[in-house]
Each structure stands twice: as structure tokens, then as C-alpha cells.
Chains A and B, each alone.
Chain A
Amino acid sequence: MDWIPNFLLPFFYAVTMIVAVMTIAGYSVLAERKVSGWIQHRVGPNRTALPIVGSIPIIGPFLTKLGIFQPLADGLKFLFKEDIMPGHVRKGYYFAAPIIALVPALTTMVVLPFGQYVDADGVTQPLVLANVDIGILFILAVSSLGVYGIVLAGWSANSKYPFLGGIRSSAQMVSYELAMGLSILPVFMWAAAPGADYGLSLYGVVRSQDGLWLGIWQPISAMIFLIAVFAESNRLPFDMAESETDLVGGFHTEYGSFKFGLFFVAEYAHIVIGSAVFVLLFMGGWNFLPFVASPWPDGVIGAVLSVLWFLFKIFAMIFFFIWVRWTLPRFRYDQVMRLGWNILLPLAVGNLIFNALLIAIHDRL
């Protein structure tokens, strides 16, 4: 009966993970609407009520006011809307595009560690579906596949606005992928000294931030990475792919109902994953605070606490994403390109060389 731990358990974990990420994505939509509302002196969604839960005395109205049930309603709406199929689209690709957009976003989380567990023997184990050594490479490789969804959507919709959206998005992805990759090299150069365990593993990076967070002593890397994450996840001020003022809706102009819903979720899944990676790389993962030893006790309780702390940081990042959205206006497309190629890329290269020299000097001493 090997197959239970070997097969069923990972499957169960994976499903749990997907559910968790999707839930977080769903609630980041809610968060987006709520925070947008607050920033604009509004209240955001506060009317959707579940039949029974909503009528529990104090709690029900409170949850309703918070809009807790709104994502449910949104999801149901997407599910039950009439699925309109424009006559002029390239059907196969048209259907494939939203799936291609979502799948990479969900795949990357396989290698995302989200906490630690100190077992009875005092051995610290990462909480991760697959603690692969090349975690960050995997993430970079797979998450950038997501752009195929957008490009395909733009092309298969067979009309000009989506097409322009798709083109913009692919160009933007290429430009920022480069800076992003280069920006995190110094991190790993520091985190994983030659011969150390976990060369490119995210778990290793988190471990190395036990005291000092990388974001503090690699601010340039952190900044470049952050900007690149914004760009990669097509968030404002980089949402060139769907900029509604000039492209109607961009790549998803011709999409509606559930297919649009998939794009929508994929975007938020990207944000969640992006935030998670940023937290892992630069904000110490589940480590408590810089220069403060994590107070997590051993055992299950410590594991849960570490996971919660990690989630808290992710939520902070998501909030930051939303906050930026309502602060910065959208860039012009040429500005996006200039920022990517003329500023971020040289900066990343310079940062890499600088750190390499620093490491060389450090090693000599």
C-alpha cells in the first residue's frame, strides 16, 4: 500500500494548495475592490449576503458588509453567464488561451515553500510540495509561459485590439524577464555559496535570511525584481496588454463569461505567486522580523504560525500591489519599453557585476 503516501497524499496536498491559491486569488479580487473603494472614499462591495450565514445576528451583517461573500457571487456569475462565442475567432486557440494563461500560474506553486516544520528530532523541514533544488529557475521558466495565454488570446480573437494587446504583452514580457532574471542572480550568489546545499532552492534562500533580509542589503535587486513582477503580472502601471483607454479591453476584448473569468483569476494568481516569490526572496519568507530570531515553537503549532506569518506577508504585498495601482497612472508604451531596456536591464547587469566583485573581494579576505 505504498501508493497512498506516494501518490494520493501529494495529490491531496496539490489540490489543497490549488484551492488555497485560488481562494487567495479570489479574495485578492475582493481586496482589490475593497481597497479601491477605501482609497476613493467609497465602501466597496457590501451587499452580497449568503442566505443562512448572512442572517446570523451580528456576524452575518458584519461579514456581508465586509463583502466576504462577494467572490462567491462573482464566481457564480462568471460560471452562469451565457458563454458567447464570437463568430470570427480561431476556435481552438480561442478556447486554449485562458487555460494556458492559468495553468502556469498554478504550476509554479509546486515549488513554493510556504513554511517550515521542525520535527521531533529538531530537523527543520520545508513545507513545500516539491522541494526542488532549482526552485527559482522553475518559477521563472514556467511563469513566463503565462504570456502565451495572452498572446494566443490576442491572436485568436482575430480582431485588432486584442491583437495589439497580445503584441504589447509579449514584448513587455521579454523585456522584463531579462531584468528580472538578472536581478535575482546576486541574491543566489550570496545565499548559496559554492558547495552549499540548496543551490537555487527557494527554501535555501529563506533559510539564509534568518537574520538579515535580502531586501535590506540587496535593495537594488529587490527593487528591480519588484518592478519586474509588476510588469510580468500586467498590473497597473504596466497593464499595457489590456489598457482599456486605448485598446478597449486589450487581449480579452472578445472574451466573456467563464473564459474571461479564467483570465481574471490567472492575473490574480500571478499576483499571488509574484508576491509569494518576492516575500521568499527579499522579505525573509516566514522569518519573523529582520534581526529577530523566529519565535516559532517546534512542531505543528510552529509550522502553522510560520505559514500564517508567511501568508500575512503575502497579503501585505498584495495590498501593496493594489495601493500602487491607485497611485500611479499607466505608463505610455514607449516609457514601459525604455524603462525595461534602458534602465532596469543596465541596472541589473551593473548590480550583478558589482555584487560579483563584492563577493570576489569578500572571498579573498
Chain B
Amino acid sequence: MAKTKVLERKPLSLAERTYLPQIASGLKTTLGNMLKPNVTLQYPEERPVIPENYRGVPTLVRDPEGREKCVSCQLCEFVCPPKAIRITPGEISEGSDTEHVEKAPEEFEINMLRCIYCGLCQEVCPEEAIFLQDIFSVSGYSREEMINKKDKLYELGGTLPDRHRKWDKKKAAEINGPAHH
């Protein structure tokens, strides 16, 4: 148990009890503040500087080759606390350039009316395919508009650099790797 120390409250002096000096000094403070420059940002014309790692609207990104990185593992759908994400997994058809990835989302929806910008989807994504980027203002005239579909998500997300190139390596290994009959 922490020790409690009772502090005596100092009795107020007469001047303090009239409150008048205090009020005067308060008035001085507010007046002083009034004369300081203001900090308002004229929003639509002036834009705030978005710091790195800002958690804005979640978006899907492509790798530098333009391949969609999401493989619809649905971990983000699982982890999303308000269940804002909804994925219909799909298969990449054989013969396509990225057939070795096998899986990609057929549909990917993020309901921005539900999203709480927690960033867990970005955290959990094993493919680094979903990022909360710098978009902080979303609006729409209907509920449907507020549900970001796959196309929109890729449009918002754009392309981000990829340090791992996991699937490129995989493909290279398939072509040059240890021979298998």
C-alpha cells in the first residue's frame, strides 16, 4: 500500500478570497492569448501535413510490377474488430502471369461506415497488401458509396515499393531452382 500523505491546504489570504486579483490575472492571460497568432488551418485550401505511418483510409496496394498483392487470405477480415472487411476469395486462373500465386480476391469490400481506422488489417496482412494511407476524409451520398469495392481500393492504394518480392523469387526458383523431374 502506498502511503497517503495528507497535505494541509493553505488558507486563502484576504485578497485571494475576494478573487478579484485572480480574476484580473485571468483576464490578463486571456488577453495575452488573444494577441498571439492563431493556429487555424484554412482546411480545404490548406492541407495538413500527413505524417508517415498515419492511419487513414485502408487501401489495397499493388507491387511495382502492378500485381495485386492481396492473396485473399482473409486474415484482415478475421482480425477487423468492427467486421468492416468482406472478401470473396478467388483463384487465379492457370495460364495467367501470376498463376503461381494461385489465389487473389474476387471481391474485396471495406465498409468505411464500419471501419474504425485501427490499422489491425495492415498489421496482420502477411502479404503487405493492405495499407492505411494518407486519405483522411471520406464522404458519400449513400451507404453504398461508403463501401469501397476492390477497384476503388486499388485506385486509392496505388503502388508501394516491395522489399521482399516473395512471389518473384518464388517464380525465379520455379524456373531456375533445384531441378525436380
Contacts and interface: CB of A to CB of B under 8 A. Distances in A.
B21 interface: no
A91 interface: no
Given A41-B40, A42-B39, A43-B40, A327 B29 contact: yes
A36 to B, nearest CB: 10
Contact of A39 (B33, B37, B39, B40): B33
Given A35-B34, A38-B34, A39-B33, A327 B40 contact: no
Given A38-B38, A41-B39, A328-B23, A323 B31 contact: yes
Interface residues of A, number: 13
A37 interface: yes
A39 B31 CA distance: 7
B38 A42 contact: yes
- Residue in B26, B34, B36 whose Cβ sees the most chain A Cβ within 10 Å: B34
A42 B41 CA distance: 9
A327 B30 contact: yes
Nearest to B32: A39
A324 interface: yes
Contacts of A39: 30, 33-34
A41 B30 contact: no
B173 interface: no
A40 interface: yes
Contacts of A328: 23, 26
Nearest to B27: A327
Nearest to A324: B27
Nearest to B39: A41
Contacts of B23: 324, 327-328
B30 A37 contact: no
Interface string A88-110: 00000000000000000000000
Interface string B2-13: 000000000000
A40 B35 CA distance: 10
- Residue in A35, A41, A324 whose Cβ sees the most chain B Cβ within 10 Å: A41
Nearest to B35: A38
A326 B30 CA distance: 7
A35 B31 CA distance: 10
Interface of B: 23, 26-27, 29-31, 33-34, 36-40
A-B pairs with lowest CB-CB distance, top 10: A327-B26, A41-B38, A327-B30, A38-B34, A43-B40, A39-B34, A41-B39, A42-B40, A39-B30, A327-B27
6 contacts: A41-B39, A43-B38, A43-B40, A324-B23, A327-B23, A327-B29
